[in-house]
Amino acid sequence: MSESEPKKRGFFSRLFGLEQEQPKPAPESVAEPPPELPDAAAEPAPEAEPDAPIAPDLLIGEAAPLPIAMPEVEPEPEPEPAPISPMASGQPAEPSPVPQPKRSWWRRLADGLSRTSSALTTGITELFTKRKLNAATLEDLEDILIQADLGLATSARVAKAVGEGRYDKQIEPEEVKAILAREVESILTPVAHPLTIDATKKPFVILMVGVNGSGKTTTIGKLAAKFRAEGKSVMLAAGDTFRAAAIEQLKVWGERTGAEVVFGQQGADASGLAFEALQKARANGVDILLVDTAGRLQNKAGLMDELAKVVRVIRKLDAEAPHAALLVLDATVGQNAISQVEAFRETAGVTGLVMTKLDGTARGGILVALAAQFGLPVHFIGVGESVEDLEPFSARDFARAVAGLGEAA
Ligand SMILES: Nc1nc2c(ncn2[C@@H]2O[C@H](COP(=O)(O)OP(=O)(O)OP(=O)(O)O)[C@@H](O)[C@H]2O)c(=O)[nH]1
Ligand SMILES: [Mg+2]
């Protein structure tokens, strides 16, 4: 979020009061795949065996050079049960029938990041309480930071900043936390860009990519809710044609957000579907088209080919589209997020990142490591399953929450 924007916009409540302000007549959903597809789309569709028991790590595939895919998650304590009922089937969480007290975005962020921040602050407090600073304590500090996945370079940078001018002196844990927040903020500030929707692009096309389970479809739903609450018309393209459940999941989000969903049959060609959705969105004067994609295909090469083809085919209609290609990364995969960025960046022309599930890990520092290594814009972060748990990324808020400090004055 840009620092000047209000922190809490209460879009959830506005969303569900939105029906009366539907800005555009809704075009009809597509029940069938397009009969005529553009050249590239006429290539044979990938063999979809949607419900075949494909192990997530198959994305690595034998021919795949990069270990993307659902990575081996480092063992860490089980996440606390989500405050909102989890979506075992991937279906959007229903709004709770019992009115919950509203939590500000800061509260959600701080609570969501609490596993990361408590790992850091407990370590820092134990390390610096009544101890003088020396090379050994700084090395231990670096270890604590590395364990939170801040990355080697950032961890060394923070430890150096803490050490400056303080050797053989006592330093309070609070001071260490403040230095940590300052350094993290300065690394994150250059990447904290709001996603700017250029209203002259109609529709503004946003392609969502990422490995299976990273949170693409949920993030599309959350973004659709945000855009609708801003009075924009939104269309969703069910480009994950691999699984029937994926199409259903997107339709539920469409209903909840008042966004038209363009879908084809399971197993239909994803690029053809995206092409048709863009045609429809244009014809109907839709403001924003969000294109969902599969995260899981037979192997990584198949997934990358499909994404590249979706981009190619969309460009036949609009040479500048997609106007944003957002890579959705699950924070709980830790360091594996780095190879995911490397794998998707070129193929899908990734323009920015969204990091989800920061509430499910003690390794939220990975976002800092990514910022330091790639410098790709970070647009949004997710700290829970509910529609309110996604917000534009603020470097200062994130840095303070991670370091266990209070909300910036
Ligand atoms: N705790 C938590 N869960 C999240 C967050 N974002 C998404 N999820 C959950 O992650 C699970 C997977 O999300 P999806 O949106 O279905 O992921 P996907 O990338 O579309 O997955 P595929 O369609 O299989 O490629 C769902 O149960 C979501 O509710 C988040 O920020 N926090
Ligand atoms: Mg999905």
Give the CATH number of the domain where residue 209 resides: 3.40.50.300
Contact criterion met (CB below 8 Å) for 64 and 303: no
The tokens for 142 are 């670096």
Report the Cα 178 to chain-centroid distance in Å: 27
**Which ligand ends up closest to the CA of 92?**
1
Q: Calculate how far, in angstroms, residue 145's C-alpha sits from the geometric centre of ligand 2.
A: 32
Residue 187 pLDDT grade (very low, low, confident, very high; cuts 50, 70, 90): very high
405 C-alpha to ligand 2 centroid (Å): 34
- Give the number of whichever ligand sits closest to the CA of residue 210: 1
The yes-or-no verdict on residue 240 having pLDDT over 60 is: yes
User: What residue's CA is closest to ligand 1, atom 17?
Assistant: 215
Question: Could you tell me if residue 278 is left (phi over 0), alpha (psi between -120 and 50 degrees) or otherwise beta?
Answer: alpha
**124 plus 250 within the same structural domain:** no
Q: Is 255 inside a domain boundary?
A: yes
Residues 179 and 122 in one domain: yes
Find the radius of gyration of the CA atoms of the chain.
22
Rounded CA separation 281/285 (Å): 6
Q: Measured in angstroms, how far is the CA atom of residue 146 from the centroid of ligand 1?
A: 26
167 and 232 assigned to the same domain: no
Say yes or no: 233 and 158 in one domain.
no
Mean of all residue pLDDT scores within the chain: 81
Q: Exposed, middle or buried: residue 391 (CB in 10 Å: 0-12, 13-18, 19+)?
A: buried
For atom 14 of ligand 1, the residue with the nearest CA is 215
Give the number of the ligand closest to the Cα of residue 111: 1
- How would you class 27 by CB atoms within 10 Å of its CB: exposed for 0-12, middle for 13-18, buried for 19 or more? middle
| Residues 219 and 205 sit within 8 Å (Cβ to Cβ) | no
CA distances 235 to 100, 106, 328, Å, are: 30, 30, 19
Q: What is the dihedral of CA 115, 121, 122, 125, to 10 degrees?
A: 180
**Which residue among 135, 156, 191 closes a domain?**
191
Q: Is 339 helix (H, G, I), strand (E, B) or coil?
A: helix
Show the tokens assigned to 268. Answer: 């239909």
Are 131 and 213 members of one domain?
no
Shared-domain flag, residues 210 and 350: yes
Q: Which domain holds residue 286?
A: 204-356
Query: End-to-end distance of the chain based on CA atoms, in angstroms?
Result: 16
Would residue 344 count as lying in a domain? Answer: yes
**What digits encode the pLDDT tens for the residues 78-93?**
333 333 233 334 555 5
The CA 290 to ligand 2 mean position distance, Å, reads 12
At residue 15 the predicted structure's pLDDT band, cuts being 50, 70 and 90, is very low
**8 A C-beta contact, residue 236 and residue 259:** yes
Report residue 31's pLDDT band, with 50, 70 and 90 as the boundaries: very low
Q: Is residue 287 part of a domain?
A: yes
Indicate whether 52 belongs to any domain. no
Pocket test for ligand 1, best of 219, 329, 344, 385 (most atoms within 8 A of CB): 385
Query: What is the pTM for the complete model shown?
Result: 0.80
Can you give the pLDDT at residue 301? 86
Co-location of 263 and 317 in the same domain = yes
Ligand 1 environment, Cβ below 6 A:
82, 87, 90, 210, 212-218, 240, 246, 294-296, 328, 356-357, 359-360, 382-385, 389
- Domain final residue, candidates 161, 191, 221: 191
pLDDT of residue 4: 40
pLDDT tens track for 102-120: 789 999 999 999 999 999 9
pLDDT in tens, 151-161: 999 999 999 99
- Do both 268 and 345 map to the same domain? yes
Closest CA to 392 of 305, 326, 315: 326
SS3 297: coil
- What tokens does 56 get? 């997530």
* CA 148–ligand 1 middle distance (angstroms): 22
Q: Compute how many other C-beta atoms are within 10 angstroms of the C-beta atom of residue 87.
A: 15
- Whether the Cβ atoms of residue 254 and residue 234 lie closer than 8 Å to each other: no
Distance CA 50, CA 194 (A): 35
Separation of 221 CA from ligand 1 center, angstroms? 11
Looking at residue 181, its pLDDT comes to: 98
Give me ligand 1 centre to Cα 90, in Å.
7
Domain count, the chain: 2
On whether both 237 and 322 belong to a single domain, the answer is yes
The domain that holds 117 is classified in CATH as 1.20.120.140
Q: Clarify whether residues 230 and 165 are in a common domain.
A: no
Instruction: Give the single-character DSSP code of 352.
Output: E
Bridge partner list, 207: 291, 325
Q: How confident is the model at residue 213 (pLDDT cuts 50, 70, 90)?
A: very high
Most informative mutation of 54, 85, 218 for ligand 1 (most atoms within 8 A of CB): 218
Position 409 scores a pLDDT of 85
**Is the same domain home to 211 and 123?**
no
Mapped onto helix, strand or coil, the DSSP state of residue 237 is: strand
Q: How many CA atoms lie within 13 A of 346 on its CB side?
A: 4
Which of 140, 156, 191 finishes a domain?
Answer: 191
Judgement on whether residues 216 and 257 belong to the same structural domain of the protein: yes
Residue whose CA is closest, atom 7 of ligand 1?
Answer: 215
- If one compares 282 and 93, the residue with the highest pLDDT of the two is 282
What is the rounded distance in angstroms from the CA atom of residue 3 to the CA atom of residue 332? 27
Q: What is the DSSP letter of 385?
A: S
In a domain, 4, yes or no: no
For the CA of 215, the nearest ligand? 1
Instruction: Tell whether 280 is covered by a domain.
Output: yes
